[in-house]
Structures are given as C-alpha cells and as structure tokens.
Amino acid sequence: MAIQKSVNKITIPITIDRLSIDDTDDIVELDKKCFPTPWSASAYLTEVHNSSAYYIVAKTDGRIVGYAGMWLIMDEAHITTIGVDPDYRGKKVGERMLIDMLRAAVQNGAARATLEVRKQNLAAQNLYLKYGFEIVAIRRGYYTDNNEDAFVMWTKDMQQPEYRRVFNMNVKQIEERL
C-alpha cells in the first residue's frame, strides 16, 4: 500500500481549548462542512458531560476552525473525530489538535491510541503514520454514507522512550514553524 508524502504547508496561529457547551452550535455547523454524516448537537452535548471524553476546539481570530475528540478508557485513547474547516486544511490545524490529544492521553496514563480512518483519506493516514500509528485492520463498509472501508490504526506504547522521542521531534518541528 502506497502512502503519499505530504508537502510543507503553511501554519496559522491557533489556540486550542476544551470544548464547551457554548461551542456546540458552531461545532455542529462545522461538522456539516467536514463530514457527509455529521453528528447531532445532542451527541456533542453528551461528550461535553462525558467524564471519559476529551474534546477540544481550535480557534483562530476567535473563530472555531477545527475540533477533535477522544475517549480515555483505562490505558487506551480512542480518537473519535478530528475535523478541520475546509478553508483551513493544510495549515497544520489537525496536526496541532492531534498533538494536544496525544499529550493529554499520555498525561492521563494511556499507553496506546487507536482510531478509524477512511481508506481513501491519505492526508489523514500520513498524519497518523507520522505520529506512530500503524494500520492493523480493515473495517469493511464502516462508513455508512458510501460503504467505504476504514483502516483501524493503533500506536505502539506511547509511554516508551522511543515513541516519546519521535513524538517530541515532530512537535519540535511544528513549533519551529510557528
């Protein structure tokens, strides 16, 4: 399976905050721009109150341009969603949210992280590979909008020095670009 290399892209200044109830209407609208089967407002409201959930928003100039979330269960982090406004893709918004989530996962004792990604979403796959995820399985027909398969990806032990070295190197490269 060939994975395409990404090219250097422009970064923008963003802040990352925890998702709040006040953000849910904006997230629902952005979700509609990002995905063919967006979540409902009630789904996001449930996640705001879920003690196992960690959801964040990325803002630039006070505007939400990205959101991401995961569940922290025992020693695993399950990334449930990462969405970036189409007008802000290629500006490292998704990568910076992924960094934030992986840091939070490690700080909360997660040893591994997992996610599902569309088989055709090479940009996302490249990002996840960069942060130590590996394709370990395929979920056939996982996406209900078009019956597309999903790759299941997992990291190795994020608490191990080798993983932390690679993670920190990637973070340093992003920080240098800012």
Amino acid 3: pLDDT: 40
Amino acid identity for residue 159 in this structure: Q
Tell me what percent of the residues of the chain surpass a pLDDT of 90.
Answer: 90
The average pLDDT across 6-21 equals 80
Residues 53-107: tens digit of each pLDDT: 999 999 999 999 999 999 999 999 999 999 999 999 999 999 999 999 999 999 9
* Residue 45 in tokens: 């409201």
> What's the CA gap between 52 and 120, in Å, rounded?
30
Longest dimension (CA), the chain: 42
In three-state secondary structure terms, 5 is coil
Quick check: 71 and 50 in contact, CB under 8 A? Answer: yes
pLDDT bracket for residue 178 (50, 70, 90): confident
- Does 116 participate in catalysis according to the annotation? yes
The two three-digit tokens of residue 117, written as one number: 């990604």
Backbone phi and psi for residue 88, each to the nearest 5 degrees, phi listed first? -115, 10
Q: Which of 44, 67, 128, 131 is catalytic?
A: 128
- Among the listed residues 47, 54, 95, 116, the single catalytic one is 116
| Token code pair at residue 38 | 């967006």
Mutual angle of helices 93-107 and 161-177, in 10-degree steps: 140
- 128 in active site: yes
